[in-house]
């Protein structure tokens, strides 16, 4: 039996830790690149089954990590997400989303590690355009994607970029929508929200992880060509207001939302990107209603 080896960046985050857990379960040897003082809470239940490599920020250390790990596939999920930035954030954004990944690619090319599953964002496609960044975060993701293209064409790297929409699932530590809704349901406080007409494309973490695994399998089977790019979409986006109403119905509560209590953000994503191809053989399997049940302890009586 062949044992595959994976090296994961961002493996201590929500999506990355769930991917690492799945790969460990499937018998992969898994290495995770961390940074000094990284929060390991998301992997504490299986930390003894993975190898941690601490990256000090240097290119030399990245070369040493890749040389030791010698992975069959690299999964690059590490990034700094900021919906809005200040001048003080620019160095961190570029360092995290451009420099770190470029160091990784250079080390891969030097060590003969050729396969990478990269993580992009649908926010690279504001108003469904071929390229229009919603914010500086999305612009840095595109910048790295362009750098990756160089390594594909000039250094024989084989790549698949998966562009994610809205992700959710159990044990998500991020302060996302369902956390806010749980909070106001519990406390009875009113939440000021925008008018709620923006479309939300939610994909459950189990479906996200399956897409990453399938992308890796496509690379290892030699089926990928050049730099392939796919969207990981539910293909059933719904307005934010309808999503909140569905959640309230499922928990049997009229949620105290002040619709229009705050304005839309600058460059609010009102429509989701529909022009991205879907990875062959992948489609979402977890229904939204079942996904909501998996994240909320309040669901009681909703019948779909």
- Lowest average pLDDT, out of 36-45, 210-219, 245-254, goes to 245-254
Evaluate if residue 89 carries a pLDDT over 70: yes
* Averaged pLDDT score across all residues of the chain: 95
- Rounded distance between C-alpha atoms, residue 17 and residue 19, angstroms: 5
- The pTM for the full model equals 0.95
CA distance 11 to 54: 12
pLDDT digits (tens, 9 = 90+) for 130-145: 999 999 999 999 999 9
The rounded distance, in Å, linking the Cα atoms of 40 and 16 is: 12
Which CATH architecture group holds 171-200+236-268+286-295? Answer: Alpha-Beta Complex (3.90)
> Is the pLDDT confidence value at 70 over 60?
yes
Residues constituting the chain? 304
The DSSP annotation for 249-289 comes to HHHT----EEETSSPPPTT---S----S---TT----S-HH
| pLDDT-derived band at 298, boundaries 50, 70, 90 | low
**5-167+202-232: CATH, from 3.40.50.970, 3.90.480.20, 3.40.50.720, 1.10.101.10:** 3.40.50.720
CA contacts within 13 A on the Cβ side of 78: 27
What confidence score (pLDDT) does residue 252 get? 87
pLDDT in tens, 144-185: 999 999 999 999 999 999 999 999 999 899 989 998 998 898
Cβ atoms within 10 Å of 20's Cβ, excluding its own: 29
**pLDDT in the model for residue 253:** 84
Nearest-angstrom CA–CA distance, 304 and 33: 42
Q: Is residue 20 within 8 Å of 30, Cβ to Cβ?
A: yes
CA distance 149 to 146: 5
């Amino acid at each position: 039996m062949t044992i595959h080896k994976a090296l994961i960046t961002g493996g201590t985050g929500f999506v990355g830790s769930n991917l690492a857990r799945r790969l460990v379960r499937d018998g992969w040897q898994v290495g995770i690149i961390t940074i000094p003082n990284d929060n390991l809470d998301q992997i504490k239940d299986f930390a003894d089954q993975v190898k941690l490599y601490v990256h000090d920020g240097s290119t030399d250390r990245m070369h040493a990590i890749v040389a030791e790990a010698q992975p069959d596939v690299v999964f690059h999920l590490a990034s700094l997400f900021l919906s809005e930035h200040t001048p003080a954030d620019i160095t961190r954004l570029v360092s995290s989303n451009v420099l770190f990944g470029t160091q990784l690619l250079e080390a891969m090319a030097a060590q003969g590690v050729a396969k990478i599953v990269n993580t992009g964002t649908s926010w690279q496609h504001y108003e469904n355009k071929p390229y229009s960044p919603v914010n500086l975060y999305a612009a840095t993701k595109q910048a790295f994607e362009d750098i990756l293209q160089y390594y594909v064409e000039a250094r024989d790297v084989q790549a698949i970029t998966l562009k994610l929409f809205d992700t959710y699932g159990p044990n998500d530590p991020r302060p996302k929508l369902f956390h806010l809704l749980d909070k106001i349901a519990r406390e009875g406080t009113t939440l000021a929200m925008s008018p709620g007409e923006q479309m939300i494309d939610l994909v459950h973490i189990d479906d996200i992880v399956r897409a990453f695994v399938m992308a890796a399998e496509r690379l290892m089977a030699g089926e990928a060509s050049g730099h392939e790019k796919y969207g990981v979409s539910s293909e059933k986006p719904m307005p934010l207001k309808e999503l909140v109403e569905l959640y309230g119905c499922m928990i049997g509560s009229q949620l105290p939302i002040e619709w229009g209590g705050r304005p839309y953000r600058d460059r609010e994503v009102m429509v989701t990107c529909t022009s991205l191809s879907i990875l062959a053989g992948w489609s979402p399997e977890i229904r939204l209603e079942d996904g909501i049940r998996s994240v909320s302890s309040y669901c009681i009586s909703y019948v779909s």
